[in-house]
Amino acid sequence: MIDKLLKKVKDEKFEYIDFKFSDIYGSWRHITIPADQFTDKTFVNGIGVDGSSIGFLSVKAGDMILIPDPEVYFTDPFWKDPTLSVLANICEVNPTEPHRRDPRFTARKAADSLNSLLPGTAAMMGPEFEFYLFDEVRYNQEPNRAFYFLDSVEAEWKSRDASPYGEGTGVNRGHQIRYKEGYHAAPPRDKTYEVRAYICKLFKNAGINIKYHHHEVGGASQQEIEVGFAPMMEMADKSMLAKYLIKNGAVACGKSASFMPKPLFMEPGSGLHVHQYLARDGVSIFYDPRDPLKLSEIGRHYLGGILKHAPALLAFTNPSTNSYKRLVPGFEAPVRASYSVGNRTACVRIPGYIKDSKVMRMEFRSPDGTANMYLLFASMLMAGLDGIKNKIDPGYPLNVDLASLAPEEAEKYPLLPSSLERALEALANDSAFLRIGGVFSDELIDTWVKIKRNEVEQIKVRPHPWEFRLYYDV
């Protein structure tokens, strides 16, 4: 594989090699070298980085190296000079070994755990990427003032502007989208079709399979791109790539893409629903034609593990304070640990439209785009495997909208954490399933909890603008 990659660099005359790697938060970092410095020794000696600056080590022991993965690379479409991006693993030095806090290494260990429990089985993942496209973004916080400002040409509030597109013509041609009425909107209301099509072309060129793209519910330019299934490690890498292509593709089109779960009041939040199943020989082992739900025993137990550990999972699948402004009653985002067939208010949905038993699957609907993609997939898989090993029963499905249930009926389905702080408390009380086999190292979990508690504290000490509406005159 190394020789093949080096030959590609030479034959296609790349000028730069860009190494991309995930920090602990789930954002890509990168470092670039001239292509003539990219040799077989790079895969042994690596590229030096300061791990302390990206959340991995203390300043006293910050030296780390990146070891490129010769199997995962793509031509970067946003560089003027021909550049090949290669994904890299974060490693310790003396001796050279994988770093225990590296999210990509954690996902690899989770995949190995599946292979140990069920040899020859792959965890297939298929995420839905929801995001908003904004035309203008401004925000700031100072001791005496704070604000954020978001704007979109599609938004209903633009109907009052004389020149919503900024031409200075003093003419508004209408066709804005009303609040919460953007689902599958068609042109001329859907003014972002070409942006999505351009991004999907970038996906295709990078080897990411597209199922479809469409306008989402949010009228202020909420979007969705759903991709096809791939084995977990491949999909984790491709999910990082997808976010990179969406953000930079939006910039190329004069837009700003945000995966923030709840950027707008009164509009739906953006999730990152993950369809998933276990497959052997390319066929889902979650399928059983004899079961009323068509769900096999192993599928039920996998589901049971997801539901049992859902409160703790949210510390990784919904790891921002803003995440919990999306997970509120009244929208389609789940607020209780429940499952159903076709019911989108449940935490886990078994799609009711599945016709092909080979892809019998379930959809975990809680996650959002603030998650670290590697830790997102790894934590879900570890919960499902714990369910299989301990034969956890998921109970009975939820067949009605949660909002319509009487309080005593709703209590049968445990509430999910209503804040990041509570999700971290749930993780503190339920992390053993993640630590099995050292998949999630103690160092990783402890560091994750520390940085996330720090985010909670940052929000706690800052006044909120609405507090002035509530309390200024008391």
Distance CA 339, CA 351 (A): 11
**Set 18, 92, 128, 156: catalytic member:** 128
Pairing, β 83-92 against β 339-341: unpaired
Architecture per CATH, domain 2-99, reads as Roll (3.10)
Indicate if the pLDDT at residue 411 is higher than 90: no
**Set 18, 309, 365, 368: catalytic member:** 365
Region 75-99 average pLDDT = 93
Catalytic annotation on 216?
yes
> Is residue 103 packed enough to be buried (19+ CB in 10 Å), middle (13-18) or exposed (0-12)?
buried
> Is residue 170 packed enough to be buried (19+ CB in 10 Å), middle (13-18) or exposed (0-12)?
exposed
Region 215-228 average pLDDT = 97
CB 134 within 8 Å of CB 258:
yes
* Greater model confidence, 56 or 196: 196
**Set 363, 368, 386, 421: catalytic member:** 363
Catalytic annotation on 273?
yes
What's the confidence (pLDDT) of residue 61?
Answer: 56
What's the confidence (pLDDT) of residue 168?
Answer: 66
Q: Please, what is the end-to-end C-alpha distance for the chain in angstroms?
A: 69
Pairing, β 83-92 against β 63-75: antiparallel
pLDDT in tens, 281-305: 999 999 999 988 899 999 999 999 9
Distance CA 273, CA 154 (A): 24
* Closest of 174, 135, 364 to residue 253, by C-alpha: 135
DSSP lists the bridge partners of residue 349 as 340, 363
Region 413-429 average pLDDT = 95
Length of the chain counted residue by residue: 474
Region 81-97 average pLDDT = 93
Q: Which of 46-55, 107-116, 219-228 has the lowest mean pLDDT?
A: 46-55
**Set 18, 76, 92, 130: catalytic member:** 130
Catalytic annotation on 301?
no
Confidence of residue 167 (pLDDT cuts 50, 70, 90): low
Catalytic annotation on 409?
no
What's the confidence (pLDDT) of residue 446?
Answer: 95
Catalytic annotation on 104?
no
Region 86-113 average pLDDT = 93
In the chain, domain spans = 2-99, 121-471
Confidence of residue 81 (pLDDT cuts 50, 70, 90): very high
Residue 455 amino acid letter: E
CB 316 within 8 Å of CB 381:
no
Confidence of residue 96 (pLDDT cuts 50, 70, 90): confident
Confidence of residue 452 (pLDDT cuts 50, 70, 90): very high
Indicate if the pLDDT at residue 143 is higher than 90: yes
What's the confidence (pLDDT) of residue 41?
Answer: 96
* Closest of 46, 48, 40 to residue 2, by C-alpha: 40
pLDDT in tens, 339-379: 998 777 789 999 877 778 899 999 999 999 999 999 999 99
Buried b / exposed e along 321-341 (16+ C-beta atoms within 10 A): bbbbbbbeeebbbbbbbbbbb
SS3 for 274-342, per residue? Answer: EEEEEEECCEECCECCCCCCCECHHHHHHHHHHHHCHHHHHHHHCCCHHHHHCCCCCCCCCCECCEEEC
Catalytic annotation on 214?
no
What's the confidence (pLDDT) of residue 409?
Answer: 75
**Set 344, 425, 430, 435: catalytic member:** 344
Indicate if the pLDDT at residue 417 is higher than 80: yes
Distance CA 20, CA 42 (A): 14
Catalytic annotation on 393?
no
Distance CA 193, CA 387 (A): 41
Distance CA 417, CA 315 (A): 9
CB 299 within 8 Å of CB 362:
yes
Catalytic annotation on 63?
no
**Set 12, 40, 50, 467: catalytic member:** 50
Domain spanning 121-471: CATH superfamily: Glutamine synthetase/guanido kinase, catalytic domain (3.30.590.10)
**Set 196, 273, 309, 326: catalytic member:** 273
Predicted structure pTM score:
0.95
CB 322 within 8 Å of CB 312:
no
The C-alpha angle with vertex 419 and arms to 131 and 473, in degrees rounded to 5, equals 100
What's the confidence (pLDDT) of residue 396?
Answer: 85
pLDDT in tens, 101-123: 999 999 999 999 999 999 999 99
**Set 135, 151, 154, 224: catalytic member:** 224
Catalytic annotation on 462?
no
CB 286 within 8 Å of CB 277:
yes
Indicate if the pLDDT at residue 60 is higher than 70: no
At 216, list the tokens.
């989402």
What's the confidence (pLDDT) of residue 473?
Answer: 94
Indicate if the pLDDT at residue 58 is higher than 70: no
**Set 18, 23, 76, 216: catalytic member:** 216
Indicate if the pLDDT at residue 27 is higher than 70: yes
At 308, list the tokens.
């049992």
pLDDT in tens, 315-346: 999 999 999 999 987 767 888 899 998 777 78
* Closest of 70, 61, 69, 31 to residue 48, by C-alpha: 31
Q: What percent of the chain has pLDDT over 70?
A: 97
Sign of the dihedral defined by the CA atoms of residues 45, 50, 54, 55, in that order:
positive
Confidence of residue 160 (pLDDT cuts 50, 70, 90): confident
